[in-house]
Amino acid sequence: MGRSVVWGLYALILALAPLVFTSSLSHTLLSQMGIAIIVCLSYNILLGQGGMLSFGHAVYSGMGAFLAIHTLRLVSGGLALPVSLIPLVGGVASLVLALLLGWVTTKKAATPFAMITLGIGELVWAMALMFPGFFGGEAGLSGNRVAGSPLLGITLGPQIELYYLIALYTLVCTALMYAFTRTPLGRMLNAVRDNPERAAFVGYNPQMVRYLAFVIAAFFAGISGGLAALNFEIVTSEVLSGHRSGAYLLFTFLGGTTFFFGPIIGAILMVLAFVLLSELTQAWLLYLGLIFIVMVTLAPGGVASLVMLNLRWVRSGGWRRLWPVYGVLLATGLLALSGAAALLEMLYHLQLGAALGPELPFFGVTLNIDEPYSWLGAAAVLLIGLMLFELSRRRFMHHAQGGGGA
């Protein structure tokens, strides 16, 4: 019953989100979040369930996007195929590619597997520039998603119509990937991750298990690529880059690989970082790196592990004692973050924006890179914030251990 409620809430959120957030920017963000959820969940089939660290997952989402945009161009030329089915073309194309490359890729596990995926990723990305006839060169390929015949009066022209198509794919793909975790193959994938020798001893071929999981993950990654092709109506070689694969790894890990819903959180964070954080500061990649280091150090299980930890405390009644400590943690964390951000923005401005003058605005405060008080003040705020945060964290752990003992 509880699982049915969760799935019902998930579907309800997908259905009502564009009605709550009604701006065009919100609809665009929600569409990108749906696409990112599918690809991050597919990546977690490899990383979280199979223990396979891939540096080339963008090959399969990217090739799905390219085959989808080629199909969309054929639809514009008269091919009788509903545009709403084009993401499945991307999924099948990536599945076929994984069937061809996956056996070699999954021959090894652990570090050799990661290196093979890195090599294949760089190879395919280089090919995208070598064969402009298929990949479109540096300009990429573009299409028109409203070129096909409307299906039930739906043209996919308005962003909200496309969002609901993406939401439907997101719901179905999420359900299918969750169902995969409950299958014997999904369970055996966990066994191969934890102890491949024992799995081989009881009669299973670890490489075959990894290979099948690899193909399934590529299929869903291709669907996400096809949806991205419809959403942006242009595909460039960037979708095959190592930078894109690194983003999948980073945010899947940040969301939490040990819980099924962790990559969903990571996908939402990825879109917010790429779209909103990049608008706030030019040094946004530096912030992402620092956030990743902090999360690995303080919460290696990702955001999902923090959510589950708090749910346990809520059920045990310990939340009443902990919420004041949470407030202090949040306040001191924001204080330390503001000091660190001020230092980073001044350093960035000093190196790359000094020609614009010594002053820069920072959340209502004017900082001056030529004045020592700006640097000393930011450093003092950072140090005070860190000290108070550490004291608050120790108090939090003390209360949490007390709550757990009770």
Its pTM stands at 0.91
Residue 399 has a pLDDT of 64
Of 86, 46, 84, nearest in space to 66 by CA: 86
Q: How confident is residue 271, by pLDDT bands cut at 50, 70 and 90?
A: very high
The average pLDDT across 110-133 equals 92
Instruction: Tell whether the model's pLDDT for residue 156 goes beyond 90.
Output: no
SS3 content of the chain, % helix, strand, coil (to 5): 80, 5, 15
C-alpha of 272 from chain center: 10
User: Residue 369 — left, alpha, or beta (φ > 0 → left; ψ -120 to 50 → alpha)?
Assistant: alpha
Take residue 234 and report the two structure tokens written for it: 């242009």
- pLDDT, tens only, 225-237: 999 999 999 999 9
Residue 281 has a pLDDT of 82
- pLDDT, tens only, 166-190: 999 999 999 999 999 999 999 999 9
Of 86, 98, 80, 3, nearest in space to 42 by CA: 98
Of 143, 140, 131, nearest in space to 69 by CA: 143
- pLDDT, tens only, 82-113: 899 999 999 999 999 999 999 999 998 889 99
Q: How confident is residue 390, by pLDDT bands cut at 50, 70 and 90?
A: confident
Residue 361 has a pLDDT of 86
Radius of gyration, alpha carbons of the chain:
23
Mean pLDDT of the chain: 89
DSSP 8-class letter at 257: S
Take residue 7 and report the two structure tokens written for it: 């799935």
Q: How confident is residue 252, by pLDDT bands cut at 50, 70 and 90?
A: very high
> What sign does the dihedral 214-219-222-224 (CA atoms) show?
negative
The average pLDDT across 358-387 equals 89
Q: How confident is residue 325, by pLDDT bands cut at 50, 70 and 90?
A: confident
Residue 298 has a pLDDT of 79
Instruction: Tell whether the model's pLDDT for residue 1 goes beyond 60.
Output: no
Q: How confident is residue 318, by pLDDT bands cut at 50, 70 and 90?
A: low
- pLDDT, tens only, 299-314: 888 999 888 877 777 7
Residue 405 has a pLDDT of 39
Q: How far apart are CA 62 and CA 239, in angstroms?
A: 5
CATH, domain 2-283, list 1.20.120, 1.10.10, 2.30.30, 1.10.3470:
1.10.3470
**Quick one: angle between helices 159-182 and 24-44, nearest 10?**
20
Contact 32, 18 (CB under 8 A): no
Residue 376 has a pLDDT of 93
Q: How confident is residue 13, by pLDDT bands cut at 50, 70 and 90?
A: very high
Single-letter residue type at 376: L
Lowest mean pLDDT, pick from 245-259, 260-274, 297-311 = 297-311
* Interstrand relation of 234-235 and 359-362 (parallel, antiparallel or unpaired): unpaired
Q: What is the DSSP string of 331-375?
A: HHHHHHHHHHHHHHHHHHHHHHSGGG-SEEEETTEEEETT-HHHH
Instruction: Tell whether the model's pLDDT for residue 352 goes beyond 90.
Output: no
